[in-house]
């Protein structure tokens, strides 16, 4: 097994950057050559809001290429992965996670608190829209999509039409553009999306040598945090279509390393905002996520939406709307 490995990637600057970083890390750790193979996904072809396109828009074409064996492994932004398991595929590694927080890029170097009432803020994700409204600052929130450069131009370019945009800090970091950030948002105000800032390195289960090889890239603390956040999301999807945020942090506690998980369900207009947290051991990451989701549901997470049309029983799953 010494042939060049084919790494499937979307063609956006962000995807190419993160795939390139994974390829380099793998070559450094194993000596294996890696070639990038571009795969065009439905999410790249359409400019419709992601929550309209549906879950998995950035993922399906890559998974099809894995199944068709035209690529050996793929790198996904973990938050774009549907929570449903993909038959025959395996997340062989979760590399060290980037800072998962959201970032504000505002005109004139402004911070969130410095935005005046009526300021026009662009962001695509329902989760961010909901939390911006929940601040009660009279911000005008407007939908925003497109690649990172397109979004930045709306606030930084010569024909900028927005006062600020909110986007994942991790995306800017991978592109070397953290210089444009005017504030990294405190999770107390803007809790990130489940798995934001993390990557998923995926290959076929029937390729055990590659599963083993890729596992050198796995970072156990990142995997534990993401596992808890995604378990929370998966459990809530059964009964709730509202925007979901989750953030797991590992820290040294009295009883060794502890996982501190925060979760939130917010109505799109920000008027209902349910936030809870739970602490446990990283080995119980999935159980912590499920238990926190159950608590949120008990407090009415499933009733928070209503207006957007409740999914109802029998609906499969919605996944990230980011
Ligand atoms: N669906 C958009 C998306 N998917 C992954 C990232 C980059 C951040 C990450 O890897 O979590 C982004 C951009 C954004 O949310 O601003």
96-124 confidence digits (pLDDT tens): 999 999 999 999 999 999 999 999 999 98
Cα–Cα distance for residue pair 77/269, rounded to 1 Å = 27
pLDDT in tens, 31-48: 999 999 999 877 776 666
Radius of gyration of the chain (CA): 19
Q: What is d(CA 197, CA 171) in angstroms, rounded to the nearest whole number?
A: 7
Report the nearest-CA residue for atom 14 of ligand 1.
168
Check pLDDT > 50 for residue 136.
Answer: yes
> Which residue CA neighbors atom 10 of ligand 1 most closely?
197
Q: What gap in Å lies between CA 145 and CA 15, rounded to an integer? A: 16
Report whether pLDDT(262) > 50: yes
| Catalytic sites, residue numbers | 80
Instruction: Supply 2's token pair.
Output: 């010494």
The atom number, within ligand 1, closest to the CA of 14 reads 7
169 CA: nearest ligand 1 atom: 8
Residue 152 CA to ligand 1 centre (angstroms):
14
- Predicted local distance difference test score (pLDDT) of residue 319: 44
Distance in angstroms (rounded) separating the CA atoms of residues 9 and 40: 8
CA distances (Å), 169 to each of 161, 197, 221, 303, in order?
Answer: 21, 8, 19, 31
254 C-alpha vs ligand 1 centroid, how far in Å?
34
pLDDT at 203: 98
102 lines ligand 1 (CB under 6 A): no
Gap from CA of 285 to ligand 1 centroid (Å): 23
If one residue of 18, 170, 178, 225 were mutated to test the ligand 1 pocket, choosing by the most ligand atoms within 8 A of its CB, it would be 170
Mean pLDDT of 209-235: 97
Question: Residue 145's pLDDT band (boundaries 50, 70, 90)?
Answer: confident
Span 16-32, average pLDDT = 97
* Domains annotated on the chain, with CATH: 5-95+198-218 (3.40.190.10), 102-184 (3.40.190.10), 225-303 (3.30.160.40)
Separation of alpha carbons 229 and 252, rounded Å: 19
192 lines ligand 1 (CB under 6 A): no
Ligand 1 in contact with 321 (CB < 6 A)? Answer: no
pLDDT tens, 162-180?
999 999 999 999 999 999 9
CB atoms under 10 Å from CB of 68, counted, come to 8
User: Confidence class of residue 310 from pLDDT cuts 50, 70 and 90?
Assistant: very low
CA-closest residue to ligand 1 atom 5: 77
Compute the average pLDDT of residues 69-88.
Answer: 94
Q: Ligand 1 pocket: which of 13, 165, 171, 200 to mutate (most atoms <8 Å of CB)? A: 171
Least confident of 20-29, 34-43, 297-306, 308-317: 308-317
Ligand 1 site, residue 171, Cβ cutoff 6 A: yes
| pLDDT attached to residue 49 | 63
Task: Tell whether ligand 1 has an atom less than 6 A from the beta carbon of residue 75.
Answer: no
Instruction: Give the model's confidence band at 202: pLDDT under 50 very low, under 70 low, under 90 confident, else very high.
Output: very high
In ligand 1, the atom with minimum distance to the C-alpha of 151 is: 16
Residues 216 and 193: their CA atoms lie apart, in Å, by: 26
Helix (H) or strand (E) holding 90: strand 89-93
């Amino acid at each position: 097994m010494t042939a060049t490995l084919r790494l499937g990637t979307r063609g956006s600057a962000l995807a190419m950057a993160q795939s390139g970083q994974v390829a380099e890390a793998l070559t450094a750790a194993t000596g294996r050559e890696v070639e990038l193979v571009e795969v065009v996904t439905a999410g790249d072809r359409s400019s419709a809001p992601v929550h309209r396109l549906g879950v998995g828009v950035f993922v399906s074409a890559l998974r099809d290429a894995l199944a068709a064996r035209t690529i050996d492994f793929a790198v996904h932004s973990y938050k774009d992965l549907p929570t449903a398991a993909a038959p025959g595929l395996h997340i062989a590694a979760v590399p060290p996670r980037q800072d998962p927080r959201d970032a504000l890029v505002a005109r004139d170097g402004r911070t969130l608190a410095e935005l005046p009432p009526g300021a026009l803020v662009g962001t695509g994700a329902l989760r961010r829209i909901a939390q911006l409204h929940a601040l009660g600052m009279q911000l005008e929130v407007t939908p925003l999509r497109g690649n990172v450069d397109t979004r930045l131009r709306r606030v930084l370019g010569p024909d900028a039409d927005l006062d600020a945009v909110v986007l994942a800090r991790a995306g800017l970091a991978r592109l070397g553009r953290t210089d444009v950030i005017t504030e990294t948002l405190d999770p107390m105000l803007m809790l990130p999306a489940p798995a934001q800032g993390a990557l998923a390195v995926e290959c076929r289960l029937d390729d055990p040598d590659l599963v083993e090889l890729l596992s050198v890239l796995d970072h156990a603390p990142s995997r534990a945090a993401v596992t808890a956040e995604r378990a929370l999301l998966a459990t809530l999807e059964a009964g709730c279509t509202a925007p979901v945020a989750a953030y797991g942090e590992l820290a040294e506690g009295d009883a060794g390393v502890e996982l501190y998980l925060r979760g939130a369900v917010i109505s799109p207009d920000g008027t209902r905002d349910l936030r809870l947290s739970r602490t446990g051991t990283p080995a119980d990451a999935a159980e912590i996520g499920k238990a926190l989701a159950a608590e949120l549901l008990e407090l009415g997470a499933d009733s928070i939406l209503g207006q957007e049309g409740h999914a109802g029983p029998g609906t499969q799953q919605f996944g990230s709307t980011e």
